[in-house]
Amino acid sequence: MLRNHIKIAFRTLSRNKGFTFINITGLAVGLAVCIMIMLYVTHEMSYDRFHKNGARIFNIHASVKLGGNTLNMAYMSYAAGSMIKQNNPMVEDYMRTLAYFRPTVVSNPTSPENKFAADKLLFADVGFFNFYSFKLLSGDASDVLKAPFSVVISRDMAKKYFGNANPVGQLLTIKTDSAYTYHITGVAENAPSNSSIDFNFVASTSSLLTMKEATMYTGAQGISFGSFAVNLLLKNVSDTGQLKRNLQAMAKKDKSFDEISYSLSPIADNHLKSNFGDSSNIKYLRIFPLVAVLILLLALVNYMSLSTARATLRAKEVGVRKVSGASRKSIAMQFYVESALFTGISFVLGYCLCYLCKPWFLNVLQLKIDNSFLYSPMVLGLMFALLVITVLIAGSYPSLVLSAFKPVITLKDKMSTQAGGATVRKVFTTLQFAISVGLIICGIIIDRQLYYFRHADTGLNRDNIVMLPAGANLAKNYQAFKKDISDLAGIANVVTSHHTMFKGYDMFWVAGKTKQEQSVGIINVIGDNNYIPVLGLKWKYPPAPNTSIIGRQKVVINELAVSKLHLPANPVGNYLDDGNKKYEIMGVLKNFNFTSMSDELKPLALFTMADTTNFWARQGCTLLAKIKPHTNLPSLLAKMQGIYKKYDQDTPFEYTFMDDAFNLQYKAEDRLAAIFSLFTYITVILATMGLFGLAAFTIEQRTKEIGIRKILGASLSSIGTLLSVDFLKLVLLSIIIASPIAWWAMHNWLQNFAYRIAIPWWVFTAAGIIAMLTAVITVSYHAIKAGLANPVDSLRSE
């Protein structure tokens, strides 16, 4: 019986090539999108769940209140882990790791001329490979990090620095604050792509403690804040409650801050629920699954709509089979087999399409997914579940409808009097275009918000400014380096800044004038005497004539700082007091965006240091070079690189244009816009394909009516209008349904941004026009084709 069903299904598939193409292609595209998003969401949800003891591993972090400000602290002091274990018997073990964030250069001592800029250097305690479930390819997990200056390298790094030779026992030079020789004691498998702990090199913590900069990281000797991520392994998961109570009791004894609280979170929450680090992909987890469901639903609606639309062509087949004794169950099974065949072919095509598009999709998301994860039992199980669900949904409605036909009605050719199927198809068409219109509206609003970010007046001149970070080596000769850069023909001016613009800042706390009990956090910016003019900052209240603003005891603040600190309207001559020093306010700048426009503007204090001071060499800095118009950039950058290498041969030459750094702050929104645009195109194409097939079938059913109208003198335009108006009513209804839903969704999305657009009315009009034009063009093709047909051919059978 099953074999017979499959034969009939193949015959149906080959007999109706046009509808088969639309059905299979539409469903394949929908499944491809659904598979891609399913892989992404599953990967994000699987972070850190591969650790053997993952259920018992918890992060410790803290929140402190200082005045009216709450700060979240992700990292603890070096002493915190051991002290917590010592005072809490429910803690079985602890692990401290420090991800080294400064520039690192690595080389093989046998060929020191081949130096590479390296990243993902991790300092960790001795039991790192026992505490976590990272796979060691060689070396003893208990001993590899025992000795100072021992290091375990990843499989990729072993290949990079030693080729096919065994690196264990070899030496590797790693330059941090100075160059140190490390003994390679093991090789580890590359960290999985779904691990929040990533590494190329894992060095022993005892190495860090012997470096020149050790005191910077060891910090306070008690349980406090520092540079180490501290994870605790509990004896039992149920011990978390008692440990939290112990930590809170400890926090109450700490009088360093107004209020402090410690908290625990499972290691599996590191990626998705942490308030620290770059979690920009997380915001997609709520949006993309919904879009995947909508696109798959749209593709399934296409399939079911076209399948039931062609039911009249198979009505007599069903009637004959029922008269011959076939049960409704056997007929339903036949159509389910056909649906399974269609869906199976679509699934294979969808998977192939997903495989081809996956590199682009992951590149846009700036995400890496290991092949081992793609073919893991969990992912394969989800793929099979998706196939089964699709088969069940796709086959349910057509099989129920077709198997329910009554033999008397079908054999007397009275199917045209059954209006239920037409109503369902109208609902399907309205749903399809509602989804498309909704995504078009959302896509336009996202694009407008990004346009607003990039073209709003931020009060800062970002054009043609290149930023060059100066590391420890370069800082020793910074003045000479700065002069050589400023002497280049293409450079208009140079500025020295403590931080790279839009890539971080320091803060300090100042008491307000009228609310002494509340301290206000203020961004601390340090620049030289060219900082204000070159960056185009505007004065609200300039310094008094012939007054210098240079000096560590002098400060320039922005308008918001005046407001937050409750200072006089013109505070020039007043002082800021951070509890240790007083700073004279020399002037007030108009507000400018030093950070992303997604965030609220912050109070800011600018300290001006002379460009000749040794501060820049001691603290590090960034050189901002203003480039003259019409300059040959490749040639200029090559000259700048030559000067850079003259003073620092070890550190790679890196530069960033300020406008690129500004735009990089919106990378999450850029990714969302790119993916959303693709999804929008797909939904419009799917809706158009569905309407194309449905219009073809509907007009085919009215061929004789069109022939009679032509004979009676109907024009081509009147026939086109007659055939189009019913579909356009459905599209108009879909616009009415989709518009308020899309407005609500985008209104909520825009609340995530401190600076946002007002949703313009024309967005809904534009989306409606696009949908109406798409429908008109799609239906008109069939209407014109029917109108140009010879009526004699359509009436010949009468």
Over residues 286-299, mean pLDDT: 81
Residue from 185, 189, 188, 93 nearest 146 by CA: 185
* CA atoms of 198 and 202, how far apart (whole Å): 10
* CA atoms of 51 and 57, how far apart (whole Å): 9
Over residues 479-504, mean pLDDT: 88
DSSP codes, 448-484: HHHHHHHHS--SS--TTEEEEEE-HHHHTTHHHHHHH
**Per-residue pLDDT at 420:** 46
- Supply 357's token pair: 């598009």
Cβ contact 84:60 at 8 Å: yes
Cβ contact 407:319 at 8 Å: yes
* CA atoms of 201 and 87, how far apart (whole Å): 32
In the numeric block, the tokens 């509890």 are attached to 579
Question: Does 447 or 474 have the greater pLDDT score?
Answer: 447
**Per-residue pLDDT at 277:** 43
Is the per-residue pLDDT at 88 higher than 80?
A: yes
Whole-Å CA distances, 494 to 290, 470, 477, 489, 707: 49, 14, 16, 12, 80
* CA atoms of 486 and 628, how far apart (whole Å): 11
Over residues 427-437, mean pLDDT: 84
For the packed helices 667-701 and 762-788, what is the interaxial angle rounded to 10 degrees?
30
- Return the sign of the alpha-carbon dihedral for residues 688, 690, 691, 693: positive
In the numeric block, the tokens 């030496």 are attached to 171
What would the pLDDT profile of 147-173 be if each residue is shown by its tens digit?
Answer: 999 999 999 999 988 888 889 989 998
**Per-residue pLDDT at 231:** 92
Q: 150 - beta bridge partners?
A: 183
Please report which helix (H) or strand (E) contains residue 743, including its range.
helix 716-750
**Per-residue pLDDT at 711:** 76
pLDDT band at 419 (very low <50, low <70, confident <90, very high): very low
Instruction: Please give the share of the chain, as a percent, with pLDDT higher than 90.
Output: 19
Cβ contact 722:758 at 8 Å: no
Question: Length of the chain, please?
Answer: 798
What would the pLDDT profile of 178-235 be if each residue is shown by its tens digit?
Answer: 788 999 999 999 999 889 899 999 999 988 888 877 777 776 666 677 788 899 999 8
Whole-Å CA distances, 793 to 190, 581, 700, 790: 70, 97, 13, 6
Q: 626 - beta bridge partners?
A: 465, 493
Question: Can you list the pairs that 179-184 forms with residues at least 24 positions away whose Cβ atoms lie under 8 Å?
Answer: 179/105, 180/149, 180/207, 180/211, 181/109, 181/149, 182/149, 182/150, 182/151, 182/207, 183/147, 183/149, 183/150, 183/151, 184/150, 184/151, 184/152, 184/153
**Per-residue pLDDT at 303:** 74
Range list of H helices, 170-239: 205-208, 214-218
* CA atoms of 270 and 786, how far apart (whole Å): 61
pLDDT band at 479 (very low <50, low <70, confident <90, very high): confident
**Per-residue pLDDT at 40:** 86
Over residues 712-739, mean pLDDT: 81
Phi-psi region of 67 (alpha: psi -120 to 50; beta: other; left: phi over 0): left
Residue from 175, 171, 185, 178 nearest 108 by CA: 171
Query: At 528, is the secondary structure helix, strand, or coil?
Result: coil
Q: 541 - beta bridge partners?
A: 588
Please report which helix (H) or strand (E) contains residue 492, including its range.
strand 491-497
**Per-residue pLDDT at 358:** 85
* CA atoms of 374 and 366, how far apart (whole Å): 17
* CA atoms of 567 and 577, how far apart (whole Å): 12
Residue 344's CB is within 10 A of a number of other CB atoms, namely: 13
Question: Does 84 or 416 have the greater pLDDT score?
Answer: 84
Over residues 624-632, mean pLDDT: 91
What would the pLDDT profile of 757-792 be if each residue is shown by its tens digit?
Answer: 999 999 999 999 988 888 888 887 777 777 676 666
Count how many Cα atoms sit within 13 Å of the Cα of residue 751 in the half-sphere of its side chain: 5
**Per-residue pLDDT at 184:** 93
Query: At 587, is the secondary structure helix, strand, or coil?
Result: strand
**Per-residue pLDDT at 389:** 86
What would the pLDDT profile of 739-761 be if each residue is shown by its tens digit?
Answer: 999 999 899 888 888 888 999 99
What average pLDDT does the chain have? 81
What would the pLDDT profile of 653-666 be if each residue is shown by its tens digit?
Answer: 888 999 888 888 88
What would the pLDDT profile of 321-363 be if each residue is shown by its tens digit?
Answer: 666 666 667 767 777 777 778 888 889 999 999 888 888 888 8
Q: 469 - beta bridge partners?
A: 622
**Per-residue pLDDT at 418:** 46
- Supply 742's token pair: 């899309």
DSSP codes, 408-442: HHHHTT-GGG--HHHHHHHHHHHHHHHHHHHHHHH
Q: Burial, 272: exposed, middle or buried (Cβ in 10 Å; 0-12, 13-18, 19+)?
A: middle
Is the per-residue pLDDT at 504 higher than 90?
A: no
- Supply 256's token pair: 């360093």
Cβ contact 588:540 at 8 Å: yes
Over residues 30-49, mean pLDDT: 88
Helices then strands, each counted (H, E), the chain: 27, 24
* CA atoms of 32 and 680, how far apart (whole Å): 14
Instruction: Please give the share of the chain, as a percent, with pLDDT higher than 70.
Output: 83
Whole-Å CA distances, 190 to 167, 195, 624: 15, 10, 37
pLDDT band at 652 (very low <50, low <70, confident <90, very high): confident
* CA atoms of 519 and 71, how far apart (whole Å): 13
Residue from 278, 231, 240 nearest 61 by CA: 231
Q: Which amino acid is at 576?
A: L
What is the C-alpha end-to-end distance of the chain, expressed in Å? Answer: 39
**Per-residue pLDDT at 676:** 77
Question: Does 69 or 558 have the greater pLDDT score?
Answer: 558
**Per-residue pLDDT at 279:** 46
**Per-residue pLDDT at 400:** 66
* CA atoms of 640 and 488, how far apart (whole Å): 8
Phi-psi region of 766 (alpha: psi -120 to 50; beta: other; left: phi over 0): alpha
Whole-Å CA distances, 470 to 173, 442, 655: 22, 43, 10
Lowest mean pLDDT among 410-419, 494-503, 628-637: 410-419
Angle at 162 between CA 156 and CA 163, to 5 degrees: 75
**Per-residue pLDDT at 416:** 47
Cβ neighbours for 21, distance < 8 A, ≥ 6 positions apart: none
- Supply 491's token pair: 């450079």
**Per-residue pLDDT at 491:** 92
Strands 150-154, 179-188: pairing is parallel
* CA atoms of 56 and 58, how far apart (whole Å): 6
pLDDT band at 515 (very low <50, low <70, confident <90, very high): very low
Is the per-residue pLDDT at 102 higher than 90?
A: no
Is the per-residue pLDDT at 494 higher than 60?
A: yes
Is the per-residue pLDDT at 278 higher than 50?
A: no
Whole-Å CA distances, 445 to 286, 476, 749, 773: 18, 49, 10, 20
Is the per-residue pLDDT at 514 higher than 60?
A: no
**Per-residue pLDDT at 460:** 87
* CA atoms of 480 and 390, how far apart (whole Å): 68
Angle at 253 between CA 252 and CA 255, to 5 degrees: 95
